[in-house]
Amino acid sequence: MTVSVLRCDNYELNQLRETIKESLDNLGGLEAFIKIGDRVLLKTNLLMKKAPDEATTTHPMFVRAIAELLIDYGAKVLIGDSPGGPFLEIRMKNIYKATGMQEVANATGAALNFNLKSFTVESKGSLLLNKIELTDMINDVDKIINLPKLKTHGLTVFTGAVKNLFGLIPGTIKGEYHVRMPDVNDFSNALIDICEHVKPVLHVMDGIMSMEGAGPSSGVPKKTNVIIASDNPHDLDKVACELIDLGVMDVPTLRLAYERGLTSVDLSDVDIKGDSLENLRIWDFVKAPANSGRKRRIPKPIMALLVKQLKSKPIFNDSKCVGCGDCELNCPPKAIVMIARKPVVDYKKCISCFCCQELCPAKAIDIKKPLLSKIVFR
């Protein structure tokens, strides 16, 4: 499969338009994927109400550049995502405003999604999910273009093209997936099922300013200066991970895609067009704290005995906490209760999904890796 990799070191609109156009040309041009008159959903990463320079969400100039290319071509554009937490109109208005999407809509004439309904669909080719509940916004379009942000992730190690499509699961329904699939391998297989079911026609990754460390929302912005595009989400993620020194076996969605025959274990079968990976590599990209080590081969029975002691846990920093209660609201197994406006966790109930860390607006939650885990996953 072809993956376009192009250097782009800022969010200046003309440069973005040119580089994204060149990325699409490397894949056969927009006309290979979109027909004139098509309605196209730009599936952005709008995880929460954050300003663009915090590198949590797809940058608005990146979204604007691709929206303009599509509109000039003759397509109709809808911008959307279902962020974590309740999927409500007032929340979406605030998120569109904070993330710069309202300005993109004003400048380009693209529509913002306010269809908050959902529907359930049978997923016959899935490995894990027989039925998937999805946001109804995908029924308002003919095609989906996925616009992920390159970031670390506390649970899944990395969030890119495959993980970004979890945002098509409506609001709080996402929490049910974590409760039903507390094991990261099951959860990752579900992510692959969702990705394979909704099948965006294209994936274009905003890897210009990425997030390292405690991603997907509490990490640190990091310049990685790259736009990666492909019609194969697994190969795109594989190339992105290669650039930040993660291998297929380090990332559950990639390892399981490999086991399912959806990608290979290395880059040997990927046709990379554009700039050399060697010139774009970031050797010091800080991994997510829960997953900062390479796994050693431990026999499965021993691993089963150790699993509880190896699990990373969320640690709450009361001095940073602003008492908003979002962690309590979004904890899938209801392991958090707010007492005197501070969260208290029942670690026996905690499934280490890190939804609390993902959605905390104050970066008040760290992920702590137990000492034994540090030794095993050194």
351 binds ligand SF4 (CB under 6 A): yes
Binding span for ligand SF4 by CB under 6 A among 75-83, 215-223, 249-257, 358-366: 358-366
Nearer CB in complex with ligand SF4: 44/357: 357
Minimum separation from the CB atom of position 331 to ligand SF4 (A): 3
User: Measured between alpha carbons, how far is 314 from 357 in angstroms, rounded to an integer?
Assistant: 7
Minimum separation from the CB atom of position 284 to ligand SF4 (A): 28
Minimum separation from the CB atom of position 173 to ligand SF4 (A): 15
Number of amino acids touching ligand SF4 (CB under 6 A): 27
Nearer CB in complex with ligand SF4: 205/360: 360
Among 58, 208, 335, 369, binds ligand SF4 (CB under 6 A): 335
Minimum separation from the CB atom of position 180 to ligand SF4 (A): 13
Nearer CB in complex with ligand SF4: 236/350: 350
**Positions 304 through 333 that interact with ligand SF4 (CB under 6 A):** 314, 316, 321-327, 331-333
Structure tokens at 70: 């599509």
25, 231 contact by CB (below 8 A)? no
- Helices 252-259 & 184-198, crossing angle to 10 degrees? 70
Minimum separation from the CB atom of position 368 to ligand SF4 (A): 11
**Positions 215 through 244 that interact with ligand SF4 (CB under 6 A):** none
DSSP string for 121-153? EE-TT-SS-SEEEEEGGGGG-SEEEEE-EEEEE
Nearer CB in complex with ligand SF4: 200/314: 314
Structure tokens at 193: 């099922």
Give me the amino acid identity at 175. Answer: G
User: Measured between alpha carbons, how far is 25 from 38 in angstroms, rounded to an integer?
Assistant: 19
Minimum separation from the CB atom of position 252 to ligand SF4 (A): 17
If one counts every other C-beta atom within 10 angstroms of the C-beta of residue 294, the result is 12
Among 65, 132, 360, 369, binds ligand SF4 (CB under 6 A): 360
Minimum separation from the CB atom of position 251 to ligand SF4 (A): 20
User: Measured between alpha carbons, how far is 77 from 40 in angstroms, rounded to an integer?
Assistant: 5
Reported in sequence order, the residue ranges of the chain that DSSP labels E, i.e. its strands, are 2-7, 39-44, 76-80, 111-112, 118-122, 131-135, 143-147, 149-153, 157-159, 202-212, 220-230, 271-274, 313-316, 336-339, 342-345, 365-368
User: Measured between alpha carbons, how far is 64 from 201 in angstroms, rounded to an integer?
Assistant: 19
Nearer CB in complex with ligand SF4: 198/336: 336
Among 95, 135, 350, 373, binds ligand SF4 (CB under 6 A): 350
* H/E segment holding residue 98: helix 89-98
Among 161, 343, 369, 373, binds ligand SF4 (CB under 6 A): 343
Residues at the contact surface with ligand SF4, assessed by CB under 6 A: 314, 316, 321-327, 331-333, 335-336, 343, 345, 350-356, 360, 362, 364-365
